[in-house]
Amino acid sequence: MHDAIVIGGGILGASAAYHLVCEGARTLLIDRYDEGRATNAGAGVLSPVTYSGKLEPLFNLAMDAFDYYPIVNERLLQEQEEETGFARAGKLVVAASEDELEAFENAREIIFNRQKLRGTPSAEDLHDISSDEARTLLPPLGPVLGAIYYRNAARVDGRLIAGAFHRASVRRGLEVKNASVEKLILKNGAVVGAECGGEVLRCGNVVIAGGAWSPEFEGQLGIRLPIEPERGQIIHLSLPGQDTSDWPTLNAYHMDYMVPWPDSRVVVGATHEGGTGFRARQTVSGIMEVLGDALRVAPGLAKAEIREIRVGLRPQTPDMLPVLGSVPGWANLFMLTGNGRTGLQVGPYSGKIITQLLLGQNPESEIDFLNISRFM
């Protein structure tokens, strides 16, 4: 019998499994490796300081997650042999055209007001820069009407860090089963196991981290889990012979992001397509949208080669917030899903938080606003 079963092996499930085994919990990770897993296609921009939303609990959680990244990254580098893809890269936020200027100015006000109130980051680390300065930092960039630079932003490769969590966890005793959970085992208001291929696996706790596929259990549990897959297509471009290692990431307002990597690669994206179901497919319209937006903001990418196109299915909730916490009405059951576009940003830290909850500890961050009860 296991202390915990984690269902789903993306960044959230992998992190939960790792933190559980680090705490000595006998843990089983069940993962069926669905096509379209969001972790494998995410951009991995880590920059909560430039978050321009007004939900302070989400901002605080993202900051805690950002501060935790270098800590857990160092542990993973010590405990297994592969890279994680985590690195400081800096970030630009720009208005590339007149129709982006209003949104940029609104975001700028929020970002710098928060900086003033918190007293951090320093003006040296977060400040306005000129169009010429922005283009010096990111040579393919065209002229911009406004630009903010945050020096300490980071990036991470979802595939690499999820793999690092898996390897480190297995070395600590994690069991991994490549299978599909047909149903949960319920008894007297508690979840006491899971059934895979007719085999009943007993456990003390269950963590559902199934991404866009998590609602498969809502009928059995009698709960509402309004998560829909949102398709995102992202394109990896190659600039042979170009040193991209020091280029910052970028966000514009009619272009989602640009993420340079050291291997002469620049990732651009992404589409946000609802109503696609679980069809993790490339489309002509999606590719044209991504490339059109990228070239509008960064015309210097025009001669880049297309290296790869990835498609991910983000688990999106109606309020665009994750589901994180215990499940009212069911003992021993925890949800870790619905992260949409924030999975890579808060995933490693969320695995730590869900472990604290499962072990009966007080979580380090405020998470009540993310409980599934808001949909019940």
Mean pLDDT (whole number) for 254-258: 88
Nearest by Cα to 302 from 234, 233, 235, 237: 237
Binned at pLDDT 50, 70 and 90, residue 197 comes out as confident
Q: Supply the pLDDT for residue 119.
A: 96
Q: What is the mean pLDDT of the chain?
A: 96
Flag whether the pTM goes above 0.85: yes
pLDDT-derived band at 255, boundaries 50, 70, 90: confident
Q: Produce one character per residue of 90-115: b if its CB has 16 or more CB atoms within 10 Å, e if not.
A: bbbbbbbbeebeeebeebbeebeebb
Task: Give the mean model confidence (pLDDT) for residues 293-317.
Answer: 97
At 229, the pLDDT band (50, 70, 90 cuts) reads very high
With tokens 């008894």, the residue in question is: 187
User: Domain limits of the chain?
Assistant: 2-43+159-227+319-375, 91-151+228-316
Percentage of the chain with pLDDT > 90?
A: 97
* Contact assessment for residue 246 and residue 375, using Cβ atoms and an 8 Å cutoff: no
Say what the pLDDT of residue 376 is: 85
Q: Is the pLDDT of residue 185 over 90?
A: yes
User: What is the three-state SS of the chain?
Assistant: CEEEEEECCCHHHHHHHHHHHHCCCCEEEECCCCCCEHHHCCCCEECHHHCCCCCHHHHHHHHHHHHHHHHHHHHHHHHCCCCCCCEECCEEEEECCHHHHHHHHHHHHHHHHHHHHHCCCCCCCEEECCHHHHHHHCCCCCCCCEEEEECCCEECCHHHHHHHHHHHHHHCCCEEECCCEEEEEEECCEEEEEEECCEEEEEEEEEECCHHHHHHHHHHHCCCCCCEEEEEEEEEEECCCCCCCCCCEEECCCCCEEEEECCCEEEEECCCECCCCCCCCCCHHHHHHHHHHHHHHCHHHCCCEEEEEEEEEEEECCCCCCEEEEECCEEEEEEEECCHHHHHHHHHHHHHHHHHHHCCCCCCCCCHHHCHHHHC
In this prediction, residues 75-89 reach a mean pLDDT of: 96
Mean pLDDT across 335-360: 96
Residue 256 has pLDDT above 90, yes or no: no
pLDDT (0 to 100) of residue 257: 93
CA angle 252, 50, 162 (to 5 degrees): 90
How would CATH label the architecture of 91-151+228-316? 2-Layer Sandwich (3.30)
Q: Mean pLDDT, to the nearest integer, of 280-288?
A: 96
pLDDT of 268 > 90? The answer is: yes
254 pLDDT higher than 90: no
CA–CA dist 337, 190 (Å, integer): 20
32-73 confidence digits (pLDDT tens) = 999 999 999 988 999 999 999 889 999 999 999 999 999 999
Give 2-43+159-227+319-375's CATH code, choosing from 3.50.50.60, 2.60.40.740, 3.40.50.2000, 3.40.50.720.
Answer: 3.50.50.60
